Amino acid sequence: MTLAKGIWFNLPNFFRAPILLVSEFSVSSWLWAKRGYGFPVPSYVKRKLLKSLSFTNAIWIETGTLHGDMTKFLAKSSDLVISIEPSELLSTRAKKRFRNNPNVSIIQGTSEDYFSDVVKEVSGRVNFFLDGHFSGVATFQGDRDTPIQLELEVISAQIGRLEAVAVFIDDVRLFPSGAPETESDYPSRDYLINWACGNNLRWDIQHDIFIAISSDRLHSPSAETLHSSSNTRNNCVDEVEA
Ligand X SMILES: C[S@@+](CC[C@H](N)C(=O)[O-])C[C@H]1O[C@@H](n2cnc3c(N)ncnc32)[C@H](O)[C@@H]1O
Q: Binding residues for ligand X, per CB under 6 A?
A: 62-64, 66, 69-70, 84-87, 90, 110-112, 131-135, 139-140, 142, 147
Q: In this complex, which beta carbon is closest to ligand X, that of residue 183 or of residue 239?
A: 183
Q: In this complex, which beta carbon is closest to ligand X, that of residue 73 or of residue 191?
A: 73
User: Which amino acid is located at 224 in the chain?
Assistant: E
Q: In this complex, which beta carbon is closest to ligand X, that of residue 145 or of residue 241?
A: 145
Are 204 and 226 within 8 A, CB to CB?
Answer: yes
Within 8 A by CB and 6+ apart from 156, the residues are 195, 198, 199
Q: In this complex, which beta carbon is closest to ligand X, that of residue 204 or of residue 208?
A: 208
Q: In this complex, which beta carbon is closest to ligand X, that of residue 86 or of residue 202?
A: 86
Residue 108's alpha-carbon distances to 17, 42, 85, 190, in angstroms, are 33, 27, 5, 31
Are 230 and 217 within 8 A, CB to CB?
Answer: no
* CA 88/CA 215 separation, integer angstroms: 38
Give me the half-sphere count of Cα atoms (radius 13 Å) on the Cβ side of residue 88.
0
* CA 154/CA 228 separation, integer angstroms: 28
Q: In this complex, which beta carbon is closest to ligand X, that of residue 140 or of residue 195?
A: 140
User: Least distance from C-beta 18 to ligand X, angstroms?
Assistant: 24
User: Which amino acid is located at 3 in the chain?
Assistant: L
User: Least distance from C-beta 68 to ligand X, angstroms?
Assistant: 7
User: Least distance from C-beta 170 to ligand X, angstroms?
Assistant: 7
User: Least distance from C-beta 147 to ligand X, angstroms?
Assistant: 4
Are 208 and 39 within 8 A, CB to CB?
Answer: yes
User: Least distance from C-beta 197 to ligand X, angstroms?
Assistant: 25
User: Least distance from C-beta 106 to ligand X, angstroms?
Assistant: 11
